[in-house]
Amino acid sequence: MAQVSLRTRLHDCPAPAKLNLFLHVTGRRPDGYHLLQSVFQLIDHGDTLHFDLRSDDRIVRTTDMPGVPEEQDLIVRALRTLQAEYGRRHGSLPPGIDVAIEKRLPMGGGLGGGSSDAATALMAANHLWQAGLSTPELMALGLPLGADIPFFLFGETAFAEGVGEALQAVPGPDCWYVVVEPGVSVPTAAIFTAPDLTRNTKPIIIADFSRRHDDLHDQIAFGKNDLQDVAARLFPPVAQAIEWLSGYGAARMTGSGACVFSAFSSEQEAEAVLEKVPPQWKAWKAKSLTKHPLKSLLQINEL
């Protein structure tokens, strides 16, 4: 096992959250997976990961994550998947990695935290190991682990179809978001298996969304989140957060929940709303991103 990089560590690696500006369920495949259409938007709020190469080939999570056993952690699974792929390509395993996590994103929040962490791990390890995989190759490795992982590797505002893996770049809003965490964790499976979930929203084309690019409020109000009504019924705090935030503009749940967001033209507008958030909820502001910050730091310019 040879040392494959002149660098032995990558610290302060961002793993940003995502928002679903809309989320339509357009059908269901024979294997049970749902067909979706959505626009994924990166924001500048998320987790931070630190990576250190080891002298052996073990992948070790050095941060305790209550409720997430190491063997089930998407970060660990992603790193082991890439390590195995490296071994197949090069005939020997690269060094192991210690990974530490500063967790800011809530579990079951619809912000893609676990998938974002895994994508950041894949990009960082690909760089540290000089594994040489392209972004599309990393996306293919990540997809079996989680349908959102390819988006974070894609790394820019995207129109998504299929189960979320078919991605095309699309211009997104330049704005600030207020995100409310209602204090509940929403399990994705509970939403997608609900009997009252509708699965027949008429498919759209990218132009339906893109033509609204010049008008923030028109763009944010586009479409709907087909999962929102189910989540709001099963988890009343989600409904309460939507109702409250709607008093300041169009408010919507992201993903399968539980977090709720609204868009504002300026940081000052977002800050003014934050000051009024009821004390029972955690809330924060975030700026829209056009590109994944780690791709910029590592100077990844492909795709």
- Looking up tokens 């829209």, which residue turns up? 288
Beta-carbon count within 10 A of 244 CB: 17
- Give the burial class of 224: count Cβ atoms within 10 A of its Cβ; 0-12 exposed, 13-18 middle, 19 or more buried: middle
Q: Would you say 258 and 237 are in contact if contact means Cβ atoms under 8 Å apart?
A: yes
Distances (CA, A) of 297 to 8, 46, 105, 188: 16, 16, 21, 32
Tokens coding 22: 């809309």
Selected catalytic residue, list 47, 73, 148, 226: 148
How far is it, in rounded angstroms, from Cα 192 to Cα 212? 29
Tokens coding 54: 């080891």
**First-last CA distance in the chain:** 31
How far is it, in rounded angstroms, from Cα 263 to Cα 286? 10
- Can 282 be counted among the known catalytic residues? no
Overall residue count recorded for the chain in this entry: 303
Q: Is the dihedral of CA 65, 68, 69, 75 positive or negative?
A: negative
Tokens coding 46: 């998320």
Selected catalytic residue, list 18, 47, 117, 285: 18
Distances (CA, A) of 9 to 95, 100, 160, 257, 287: 12, 11, 33, 34, 28
- Can 148 be counted among the known catalytic residues? yes
SS3 per residue for 231-297: HHHHCHHHHHHHHHHHHHCCEEECCCCCCEEEEECCHHHHHHHHCCCCCCCEEEEEEECCCCHHHHH
Residues with catalytic function: 18, 148
